[in-house]
Amino acid sequence: MEKLQQNIRHKLTEFPEVKVKRTQGRMFVLLEGHDPYPIIEKVKNIFGIHSLSLAIKVENDLEAIKEAALYALTNSENIKTFKVSVKRINKQFAIRSQELNQILGGHLLSNTDAYTVDVHQPDMEVKVEIRQEATYITSSIIRGAGGLPVGTSGKTLLLLSGGIDSPVAGYLAMKRGVEIEAIHFESPPFTSERAKQKVIDLAEKLTRFGPSIKIHIVPFTKLQQRIFQETPDGYGMTVMRRMMLRISERVCQKEDILSLTTGENLGQVASQTMTSMNTINEVTNYPIIRPLITMDKDEIIEISKAIDTFDISIRPYEDCCTIFVPKAPKTKPKRDRVNYYESKFDYEELIQEAIDGIEVIRVSDQKKAEDVFEGLF
Ligand code: ATP
Ligand code: MG
């Protein structure tokens, strides 16, 4: 709950007058006169919130409660039938729930003429909750993002390409409470500045669901060229993927991150067969979270549209994989073969050079991708 409260506060920093309070099992965002809708837009994306409702807070006083219930009903749209549900948590309040239900129902009916009561399937339930400190009248329920508060399940390093899959994988990890940092491998001049911007824009979209995201941009050109020079028989892509994991693992060690996350999906492309995954995975024993592993492409696309990353992902700029990928990559690359090819050249120096050249960019929901160059490794 405390983490969730922090996450909500963080999302609402641009509304300094709004307060976030919590009591048992419930979080309150006190609008203090602020227009609720821009705030609802922010809050409904925060993981760990299953539903939210607009509430009016009044004193524990019958007349005030009557007035607020009437306001809630008459200010809601498309309502013909209603029902009042009183919950009296504060037993010191003199009127019992059942009796108050009737008093309020009667009050609403006698002061309006467009509504009738329907206790089974009302268009609107006017909920009245009498607590110690005040009474809350709730009139509409909005679905929240569900999941767990980001930051309650540790941190992962998301391998973020410019494609459709990896941002969706990041979103799903965040939904289970995992905070993310991202790593992206770029190969200038073969990949353009716009391909990099795509990745920054994708990460920025993901910050709507959690805190700011640190992106590690790895200069991969030299290493990648060398790999494809040294590696025969369609094994280049396998070695390249293994290098990505090796570098990612080192970033994890530096940043105290305990897992990696990818957008891999079983059977989609050559690098994602079972044999290929087995061979690529050999170089790290960090857990690799693969939220999309069993999904169909159309399910993935549906999520990417819902989280608004799809249009960015389909911008046409090439990423490093599409440029260097051989015509016929091996679909069943074997561990012993790839180890043999890797042993022919000592890549350590190039790996270190790539790591030393990492540029760190932090993106947040609040501000447009602000470059905070944090120096070299
Ligand atoms: P995506 O849609 O995420 O690009 P994909 O279906 O194109 O995935 P691959 O190209 O095989 O699949 O990549 C598999 C995973 O490897 C990606 O989902 C991503 O997590 C990671 N990856 C690929 N290229 C890069 C890159 N240039 N930088 C960082 N991670 C990458
Ligand atoms: Mg891709």
Distance CA 296, CA 185 (A): 26
The reported pLDDT for the residue numbered 270 is 64
Closest by CA to 237, choosing from 353, 328, 351, 340, is 328
The string of DSSP codes covering 300-331 is HHHHHHHTT-HHHHTS----HHHHH--SS--S
Whole-structure pTM value: 0.83
Tokens (6 digits) for 54: 């607009």
Of ligand 1's atoms, which has the minimum distance to the CA of residue 261? Answer: 20
What residues have their beta carbon closer than 5 A to ion ligand 2? 161, 163
- pLDDT greater than 80 at residue 301: yes
229-242 pLDDT, tens per residue? 999 878 999 999 99
- pLDDT greater than 80 at residue 326: no
The reported pLDDT for the residue numbered 36 is 80
**Would you give the end-to-end CA distance of the chain in angstroms?**
35
Distance CA 72, CA 52 (A): 16
- Report CA torsion sign: 61, 63, 69, 75: negative
The reported pLDDT for the residue numbered 376 is 30
The reported pLDDT for the residue numbered 370 is 38
Q: If pLDDT is split at 50, 70 and 90, which confidence band does 323 have?
A: low
- Ligand closest to CA 265: 1
- Tokens 């992206």 map to which residue? 184
Choice from 280, 321, 331, 358 to test ligand 1 binding pocket (greatest atom count within 8 A of CB): 321
Query: Would you call 128 helix, strand, or coil by DSSP?
Result: strand
Q: What percent of the chain has pLDDT over 90?
A: 74
Rounded distance from Cα 161 to ligand 2 centre (Å):
6
More confidently predicted of 224 and 316? 224
Domains (range + CATH), the chain: 2-143 (3.30.2130.30), 155-374 (3.40.50.620)
184-209 pLDDT, tens per residue? 999 999 888 999 999 999 999 999 99
What residue type is assigned to position 369 of the chain? Answer: A
- pLDDT greater than 50 at residue 377: no
Q: Are strands 81-88 and 26-30 parallel, antiparallel or unpaired?
A: unpaired
Distance CA 108, CA 71 (A): 10
Distance CA 319, CA 146 (A): 33
Tokens (6 digits) for 76: 């809601």
Distance CA 304, CA 10 (A): 24
* Whether the Cβ atoms of residue 180 and residue 261 lie closer than 8 Å to each other: yes
Peptide bond into 189 cis (omega under 30): yes
- Mean pLDDT, residues 270-275 taken together: 82
Pocket of ligand 1 (CB under 6 A): 159-161, 163-166, 183-185, 262-264, 268-269, 271-272, 319-321
Rounded distance from Cα 49 to ligand 1 centre (Å):
30
- pLDDT greater than 70 at residue 271: no
Q: If pLDDT is split at 50, 70 and 90, which confidence band does 373 have?
A: very low
Closest by CA to 124, choosing from 87, 91, 81, is 81
What residue type is assigned to position 248 of the chain? Answer: S
Alpha-helix runs per DSSP H in the chain: 2-11, 36-43, 62-74, 97-110, 165-175, 193-206, 221-230, 236-255, 274-281, 297-306, 310-313, 320-324, 335-343, 348-356
Which residues are CB-neighbours of 17 under 8 A, at least 6 positions away? 32, 33, 34
Distance CA 228, CA 248 (A): 20
- pLDDT greater than 80 at residue 372: no
80-117 pLDDT, tens per residue? 999 999 999 999 999 999 999 999 999 999 999 999 99
Rounded distance from Cα 162 to ligand 2 centre (Å):
6
**Mean pLDDT computed over every residue of the chain:** 90
- Ligand closest to CA 220: 1
* Whether the Cβ atoms of residue 76 and residue 108 lie closer than 8 Å to each other: no
- Tokens 């009916």 map to which residue? 109
* Whether the Cβ atoms of residue 71 and residue 79 lie closer than 8 Å to each other: no
Choice from 158, 160, 164, 166 to test ligand 1 binding pocket (greatest atom count within 8 A of CB): 166
